Amino acid sequence: MSLATCAVQAAPYQLYLVRHAHKAEVNKAAGEAAAKDPALSACGKAQAAALATLLARVPLTKLYHSGYQRTQLTAAALLSPSRHLEGYPAADIQNLANRLIQQQQNALVVGHSNTVPQLAELLSKTPQTPLTEQDYGLIYQLQFDGNNFISLTTLQLPTPALCEP
């Protein structure tokens, strides 16, 4: 009698990384706290809605956001009964990368101009071009098969009419 060994195949999954939507301008009179943590502008709300429409049929289980309201509001636009918001510390991108690889689930991560390319680089092990403060709507789509990175595709979210100059 021979024993057949079955290797458990990990299911492919995708991670989507995006910078938060356009942030609102804050009046300096509002104070330093408001300036450090602005909400979304009207354009930003339209961008978040466009992102939600684009990813509506993607089976995302977790929507990660940093501790800032602009990232939480961007991620919250994609909420549904099967999707859950989860915060992460923006200063610890390496730990987030490790968690994403360990969990092996489709997820969206909403970050910042300085953290999104860094996270894409950590996950793909390929150099990424930095984002500027004016870069909005770039989506990094990373595909994995278990712990193995397969590909990285960058997509550009169409600019909502509300955001046109």
* Separate counts of helices (H) and strands (E) for the chain: 5, 6
Q: What amino acid is encoded at 51 in this protein?
A: L
What is this structure's pTM? 0.91
Using one digit for the tens of pLDDT, what is the confidence trace for 70-123? 999 999 999 999 999 999 999 999 999 999 999 999 999 999 999 999 999 999
Average pLDDT over residues 9-25: 92
Q: Between residues 19 and 146, which one has the greater pLDDT?
A: 19
User: Quick one: DSSP state of residue 40?
Assistant: B
User: In which band, very low, low, confident or very high, does the pLDDT at 3 lie, cut at 50, 70 and 90?
Assistant: very low
Using one digit for the tens of pLDDT, what is the confidence trace for 22-41? 999 887 666 666 678 999 99
Contact present, 79 and 109 (Cβ < 8 Å): no
pLDDT at 10: 72
Say which residue the tokens 């961008």 belong to. Answer: 47
pLDDT at 164: 84
